Each structure stands twice: as C-alpha cells, then as structure tokens.
Structure 1
C-alpha cells in the first residue's frame, strides 16, 4: 500500500494541497479570501492535488466538488471558525522545538494523569495546563493523558464527537498552543499521551462522506457509522488514519496515543489496521530516536491487541483494563447494577491485582457469555489501571466521583491499593486532592435536534443504573460544563491538602521503592479474609507487605510475611498527617505478629 500525503504542506514558498475524493469527478480548491477557484489534478486512486505559489499560513480554503457544493478539508489542520466554515492553512514545520534531548518515559515508570482540557481550568485551554506543569512535578506526575482535541462542534464536548481528526480544537488554542504545551512538558520531564478516536466521526460538521467511502455498511457502533477499514476503497481510509497517527507523533511530538474503543474498530483484512499502525509508528520511533506508544481502550479483555505479531497479536504497547476499577468500585460502594453485577467479591479485586483481567475465560452474567483470555504472557506495564476515569465518572447520571460515593478514608485506601499493583497507574484529574465537583457528560451542538437526541439517549442509558432519570442534567446545558470544572483551592482546604500529600507520598513510593518499580506479576502473593486483603510483593531480598481493610470495622490478623527479617511501616492511610484517625498498627512487624488494622485503611510495610 502506498501512503499518500493527505493535508496541505509547504515546499519553500509554495503549498501543496491534497485530498482524497474518489466520489468526485471534479475537485477545485476554493481560496476563500479571493474567491478564486483552482482546478485540482486527479492522481491515482481518488487523490487530487494542486500546488499554489506564495501561499501563507492563515490562508482560508475549501474544496468544491463537482462544480457544486464547497466543503472544509477532511484533513484540515485548523478550523478557526468552527466545523462548518473554511479550513485554514497551517505550517506544521515552523514551530521551534527545544526538546532535542527528550527520550520519553518508559511505560513501566509512568504515573499517568487523565485530564479534559476544557474543564481542567477556569479558562479551559492548553495554556492553563502549561501553567500547572510545576504542580504536576510537585505531585510526581510524569505523564499527562489528554482527552481528544480533534475539532468538534461548539466549545463544550468531551472530544469524542470530533469531525476533523487533524485539526486541534480552536477553543483550546489550536495547533501552535498544543505544540507549545508538549514542548514545555518535555522540558519538564513530562510525557504527553493524546486520546484519539478512529472508530467513528462526530455527528455535526461531518462532511467526509461527500469526499470518499469513509464509512462501513457492514458493522455498527453506538456512536455513529463505523469507519471503513476493510471494504472497497478502504486503502484511502487507512492512509487517512495512518497519516493522522504519524502527524501527532512526528509533527506534534506526542509521546503516545490512547486509541478509543478499539473493540469498535472493525477490520477483517489480512493485516489489521491496529497492526499496521503499530508497524508505522515503530518506523517513526527509529527515525525520531524515541519510542512512541499505542495504548488501546478495549472492553474485550483480549491480549491480542498487545501481544507480539509473532504470537498472533497486533503489537500495540499497552491497553486499559476496566476490571480493577469495577472490582474496587463494587467492593466499596456495593453497587450491582448493569455491568457491576459481575463484580463485588473481594477475590475479584485480588485477581485484578494479580492477573489484571478478572474475566479471562469465565462466564459473565451481564454479557451472557464467556469472555476474556489470560494475561500470563503480558507484564504489568502493558496494562493501565485506574480507580476512576472520565467514563466511569462522567457516564453516571450525577457525575459522581468515587470519593462522593464512599468517604475520605476509603478514597485514600483505594488510591494506595492502585499504587501497590504491578500495573501502570492512572489518575483522573482532581482525584489527587479529593475533588468533589461532579464530572458530567456535556455537548454544545449547534443543531437543537442533535442536542435533544443526546438528552434522550443519555436518559435511556441511565435506566440501567437508576429507576428515575427525570432529574438528569441536560448535557447541552452550560451548567453541565461549568459544574464539571475542577475547584482547586487546595491550600485553603484541610481535606484537599491532606489528600494531596497522601498522593504525593504514594507516588514517591511507587517511583522509588525497588519492589514497586517492578511490573512483574509473578513475584506477588495475595489472599483475602472477608473484605481484608493481604498483599506481598518482592524482588530478591526486598519485601513489600500490605494489609488492605475495606471492612467497616477494625480487623485483627496474624501477619505471615515470607521473611524472618523485621518489616518497617512505610505508609499508613490512617495517619493523622493525612487527616486520618491515627495509625494503630505497630511501626514494625515480624512474621507471627498479631496486629489490628483500622477500618477503611491500608498499611504498607517493607524491609
């Protein structure tokens, strides 16, 4: 397959415009400022091109098809006036990068932080994220994961309704501001992962179907027509997506891409599009000198996505796993509706810590089938886990964060449990200081009918969890967006300050303790007594021993770490320094000691 240029790029003072429009018999470049129409020349397999001298960045243009309607560029790099208006020429090569020494963070060392640009700050743009880089370093974050920034309709959206995958959302600051953010992140030792959507296009401003055969008629997704990766004309679509991946990593210096809902990317061709993306990014990594990651989101519990091609996999680097979240959520909230009906047992949380997938070949009552496979051949660094994320919070009717569903002590215990696993931990913005503001689903479509359909659709989805959905917040309301913004104000709030300090300590332990630095799932032993979990991990002579009590009462037990040496307490969630009731466990233990552990707490010992 030959890979064709798909967006405008500069050669000296001239600009070459390219588009894939196999449905058109004639394509003209419309320069909007002058009204000039320039004939584009047909190339092989539906591509069209035109080279224009003395073109400057900022030039507005559209493509006119068959002497009829003009549309924005499907591969536009900028939509300054929104999804329905003219595209803007951007020179991606004129940014002055200063990150030559950057080499990316190894997956096993990542402490990821998921954020939504629009609600992370009061102004909702990239510059405000940049202003918080010192904060991230103080907390210990070395990787930020940004929800999708592809241009969507309006100014309020999670980002999964993007319709211009190459254009950076104008209300966030556009391409230059994103580059500035990435450059500054690298200078501060922080990697950037970008969430991208290759399973559908958003519903408003979606004109790609006028140009080419972007959509499949064989499959379906919950969000719109699926992308055509394996039918007639799919080469052009695959090229479009491959060029998008390369653009983010090559031109924006993005360190990794989180691939949204890969279970809704359908491809029965000889080489799956996931494998092809991984191969092309490997080539780029060799060229740039640093590794770029592909991280899948999937609810299939299938290691095929992250297994080597030689073993029949697609060769992606890592994937999200929901099972840790589901297990710890149900154990601490007692919710059992919808997909939570499959969880709620302490052993399931233990299994998610040891094996990642709770369902690795078991029958699921919710799915009404057996699903999942074994992770035995995949190290912990290939799995990103979390105790909450944008989906698990935002897809609740009231946008409840886990601390609001439980309590302060439980929230600390949940956090520490995540950090002692051998997997890659990810925080959802605000959890590090106990944010209690909700995170709602929000949109701002210009079409009132679309907004009505979203409102009704969300209420229908909520019925799986709630008996009464009449009071659901309207996703298109300004309140849904504004009330989802982080409250911050950490220094003036004792609870927030304590939680922040707790997270700081846990992250430092994760980074510095030789056992926690490992992502080895084999050197790990775990057992349960009711809602109490005993976890032991080791590396050679070093031991880490944790007792996690999710009971609503104090628990006593005889400790049996696999060492004769004394172990010293290195963390206790009940400590008064974290606004806890005070730690009741001894400062040191040896095998055979009987200890008591506070309710809703975790204590960690080490030699």
Structure 2
C-alpha cells in the first residue's frame, strides 16, 4: 500500500490513474491542433481541445517510463513543457513518470519552525566527487554533526548536459537527469527527513534557460512589455497570462506536494514583472497556504529580493506578498566592508562597522536614504518584520561565483578574519546560512560553469563573462565557463577535513552552531531584544542580546590591531563561551579572561570575536 498523505492532484502534465490510464493536460493556446506522439511505439494520438487554450487526452497507450512528445500543428515535435524527466537532455523527448506514486516513509516528519533553520547552501554537482543526489545522501550525517537543520539545494531543473549552476534550467518541472532524476530527489528528501533535516529547493521563476526552450511554440510564456537581464520577461500580467500563472503556481505546489520539500527559495523575485491586482507571489502564497491546510504540513516561501521593500515579506493580511523570509544581501555587503573589502561597485554604499551595526539592528541598511551606487533614494523600513524573515551569510554562490576567480572568503582574507565573519553571521538575530565547504575553509574556488551545446550561445557566454571583468585590474585570464576543468576545480575537497587546520575550522563552526542552539539569547530571534554599540575609531562592535534571565555579549574587533574593550553591563558576572582567537581554532591565543565582572576592560585580538553569557 503506497503511503500517500497528499490529497491534491496535479492539474498539468501527465498523471496516471489507479487503473494505469494516462491523463494528460497541456496548455497550448497557440496551437490549432495537438497530438500526443509515442516514438518508441510508433503511435500518434489526437488530443481534444478544451477551454482557455488547454488540450486533454485520456489513454491507455502511454505507460510509465515511455518516451513521449507533442506534435503541434502537424509539423512541430516538442518535449512536454511540464516534463518531469528529460533522459535525452533538453532537446529530446520527455519520459512519462508518475511522481505521485513514490512510497514515502516520512509521515512522522514535521517541518521545524523557520526560526530554527540553520541553512547550508550546496550545489549537487560539486558537493561530492560523484555530483549526484545519492552521493549527497552519504553526507547527511556529516551535516547533522555540523549542526545544520536545513539544506538549500541550488536549482535542479533540467539544463543542457551536466555542468551548470542550475539557473539556466530549461524545464522547471524536470529534475536534472545527471543528478539522478526525480525519484532520486524524492529519495534524498525522504532521507533528509529521516535524519531530521529540512529541505529548501532553489527555483527560478524569473526566466527560463536559453538553450532548448520550446515554450513560445506552445503559448505566450513571455511578454515584450518588460525587459529583464535575460530578455523578455515571463508573462505574468499580459494577454493569456492566466495559463502562465497557473503553470508556475502548479510548479511550486508540485515540489511541496509530490517531492515533500519544506521550502522554496525563489530566485531574484524583483525580476517578476506583475501589475495584476493580485501579484503572482501573493497568488502563489495563497495556493501554498491552501495546500498546507489540506495536508496539515507547513511550507515556506523564501525570496531573493534586491529591493529592500518589506511588501515582499509582509503577511497577506497586511496586503503584503506573504513571503516567509528573504535573503538579506546588505548584511553581507556591510560585513565585507567592515572587514576591509575595497569599496568598489555596490560596496561603495557601505561604511564599515556603522552600517554593519545598522544591519544587525534593522536588517535593511538602506531604508529610505540616498544610495550612491543606485543614484537614488532607496529602500523602506522593515520595522515590524521579525528576525526569522531575514537570511544572512558571509558568502554564498553568487558572492563567490560572480568574482572573476571565484575565490572563497578564506582565500581572500586571513583565517582570523574568516572566523570573525562566521561569528557575525551565527550570533545575529536572523537566519544564518553557510555555503558548502566554508566550515572547513575550502580552498578550491566556486567558479561560474555551464555546458551549452549551441555554438553561438557558447561564444556569447564566453564573451559575456570576459566583458564582465574587462574594467577590473586583475591578473590572469577569465576561467572558461565551458571548460570541464572549470567545473572540476569547483568541487569540494573533502580530504581537507583530515588536516589539522581545516578540522579546527570545522570544530569552530560546530561549536558556534551548538552555542546558538543552546543559549536562549542566541536561539530566540527577537531582534528588538538587542542593543548594538559601535566604536568607529577602533572598528569595534558590541552586541548585547537577552532572553529571559540570560544575557549575552558578543564583542567583535574588525581592526587589524589589538583593541581595548569594556563590557557595557554592570552588576553581572560574565562567563566566556568562545573566543575566536583561541589556539583550539588555530588562533594566536586568547587575551580575554574566562570570567569577568561588571564593566571589566580587557584586550581583544585583531580580527576576533569573543562571546560571554550571564545569568541573574
């Protein structure tokens, strides 16, 4: 007996009845005639035309595992835009697969509250030597040992060949075949839940990959009303937009309903152009809430947004779009400038520890003031949004991979600086996110890589990447994004964990995460129970957080010199919980006392942080 807890059924693509008949629903308003073609069986079946551009067929000729495609107007053979499997890559026929029939074992799983998420972003193809879902499963115990509670998987939508970040995915419903395909992803999610790990899946709804896309043969998936960095925008508010909106909302529901993922991270939602009365994100949230009510499970929608506009994360009842959380790039930018990053590009807007203090306190650094980089007034205040709605990090796939040489933080800065940055993220009153390998000080870069087939697209990609860095004074050539070596150099080196320095780094992260879970003043994400003070001359930040009887102090020295610091709270006895300079983490040695009373003054090592707690 199959264990099915999901009661909603997909309304697009291929589904199978209990009797084994295939029910197919296709949106193709441009076509005047549509047929279902079964190339392995030599059968072509006409489909019936319904309302609003939909076509339908119920047949016993299509079986599980069969290849199929559609014939539009007698002359265009095209893969299914709702394909869940593309075994012959993006240009080949689709494979019929009933993802609703996976035998799930996770009925006891409960998605934890978002405030408990400690996120680990990873790329399936470079996380392990094999680059598969099955190989990733073998590392779940390691992630549990580190203290991770949620993994975030970069996009898995089918892309050309086997090398891609995932943001060039062509079929949003199809799971990358070289990673293992749809069933292997379901097995991975099942295994994660068995280990107590939530799963976030990165999805791309702002564009579709350039190679192998057949969508505009079916209908107006794009509109010329708006231009995006990838060309014409996805059609969310122009003629025939209802079918497009249905396509993407159903995709979100599929990942929750049929793959049991716990959260979706929506890529660059500021490029979703929609002036409808009900924004596509609001509609998506409404549909997800309805599914949650049906299944009794909690799902989260997380936005990547570059607008500093709380409307994206405000709840539906406040006329917001209802996203549960968003990535907070400005925390990253302020942190990088605080540790000495040159103020080039968007970093020109940030001013060291002052802006980092504001990021800790307010989330958004720019909430209505003039931005030099954008050359306009920018942002709005997120005054009522709790800490769990902002995800912060010291590095991620973009911030590493969009550098010319893909350097990670520990390649750009000293180990002491890297530990300080990690500490700033993990003591924040926000959701922390790590990027794969940072916890052991991975030395391999994370480069930009693709594996297109189209010669013209190959050349455009190479020229575009070189043009991106034409104005930068950097030595060396831009790594070829099409080269297999570029991809191979981006793989993690798990053997580094056997070396003392890298193992010490791992233990430092593990300890920080454990402290975050153990201490209520860190675990609670009430960002209003916090006081931040800064000393610009010393490049020093002091964070005071509290929850109930517990108070916590974190002193962060961003300068390259030893600094004198004074505890700000009187009448308390403090106990040191961690000093990033400790020799246990291969540091120069702590200069702070294990116990301190009242307003004690002591020295902080350069580029270090120390954590104290106190109970009444």
TM-score (norm 1): 0.98
User: Residue 339 of structure 1 aligns to a residue in which SS?
Assistant: helix
* 1:235 and 2:254 aligned: no
Q: Report the equivalent of 2:5.
A: none
Matched, 1:269 2:256: no
Structure 1 equivalent of residue 429 of structure 2? 422
- The 5 Å alignment of 1:284-299 reads 284-299=291-306
Distance 2:597 2:319 in 1: 47
CA contact (8 A) 1:566 1:589 kept: yes
Select the residue among 460, 478, 491 that pairs with 1:472. 478
> CA-to-partner distance for each residue in 1:23-66, whole Å, 9 max, x for gaps?
00000000010221100000111110111115321110110000
Structure 2: how far apart are the matches of 1:415 and 1:161? 30
Paired residue for 1:338, among 345, 348, 359? 345
2:571 pairs with 1:552: no
Separation (CA, whole Å) in 2 of partners of 1:593 and 1:234: 64
Distance 1:587 1:306 in 2: 41
Match of 2:527 in 1: 521
Of 278, 290, 298 in structure 2, the residue corresponding to residue 283 of structure 1 is 290
Q: In the alignment, what sits opposite 1:321?
A: 328
Question: Could you report, residue by residue, the CA deviation over 1:161-189 in whole angstroms, capped at 9, with x for unpaired residues?
Answer: 11110000000000000000000000110
Q: Which residue of the partner structure matches residue 150 of structure 1?
A: 157
After superposition, the CA RMSD in angstroms is 1.2
Shift of residue 228, structure 1, vs aligned partner: 0.2
Of 531, 544, 568, the residue aligned with 1:536 is: 544
- Does the residue aligned with 2:494 lie in a helix, a strand or coil? coil
Count of matched residue positions in the alignment of Structure 1 and Structure 2: 603
Cα offset, 1:310, TM superposition: 2.4
Q: Say which of 462, 481, 489 aligns to 1:483.
A: 489
Alignment match, 1:165:
172
Give yes or no for contact 2:442–2:496 (8 Å, CA) kept in 1. Answer: no
Q: Using the alignment, how far apart are the partners of 1:10 and 1:491 within structure 2?
A: 47
CA contact (8 A) 1:463 1:469 kept: no
Structure-2 change in CA distance of 1:116 and 1:103 (3 Å): same
Change (3 A) 1:193 1:597: same
Cα pair distance change 1:446/1:431, threshold 3 Å: same
The alignment status of 1:190 with 2:197, answered yes or no, reads yes
Cα pair 2:408 2:443 within 8 Å, conserved: yes
Deviation at 1:309, TM superposition (A): 2.1
1:602 aligns with 2:609: yes
Q: CA deviation at 1:589?
A: 1.3
Q: Secondary structure at the match of 2:227?
A: coil
Q: Determine whether 1:506 maps to 2:512.
A: yes
Could you tell me how far apart the structure 2 residues matched to 1:116 and 1:174 are? 15
Deviation, 1:469, is 7.6
Q: Kindly report which structure 2 residues correspond to 1:92-111, keeping only aligned pairs within 5 A, or say none.
A: 92-111=99-118
Q: Which of 212, 220, 225 matches 1:218? A: 225
Q: d(CA) in 2 for partners of 1:532 and 1:283?
A: 48
Alignment partners' CA distance in 1, 2:466 and 2:531: 43
Distance 2:441 2:185 in 1: 28
Distance 2:416 2:203 in 1: 35
Aligned 1:21-170 pairs, distance under 5 A? 21-53=28-60, 55-170=62-177
Q: Answer yes or no: is the 8 Å Cα contact 1:9–1:17 preserved in 2.
A: yes
8 Å CA contact retained: 1:31, 1:62: yes
The 8 Å contact of residues 333 and 406 in structure 1, kept in 2 or not, is answered as no
Residues 13-28 of structure 1: pairs in structure 2 closer than 5 A: 13-28=20-35
Give distance in 1, aligned partners of 2:308 and 2:470. Answer: 25
Indicate how the Cα distance of structure 1 residues 298 and 469 shifts in structure 2: closer, same or farther if over 3 A, else same.
farther
Q: 1:95-137: per-residue Cα shift (whole Å, max 9, x none)?
A: 1100001110211111000000000011101011100010011
- What are the ranges of 5 or more consecutive residues in structure 1 without an aligned counterpart? none
Give the Cα–Cα distance (whole angstroms) in 2 for the partners of residues 460 and 371 of structure 1. 28
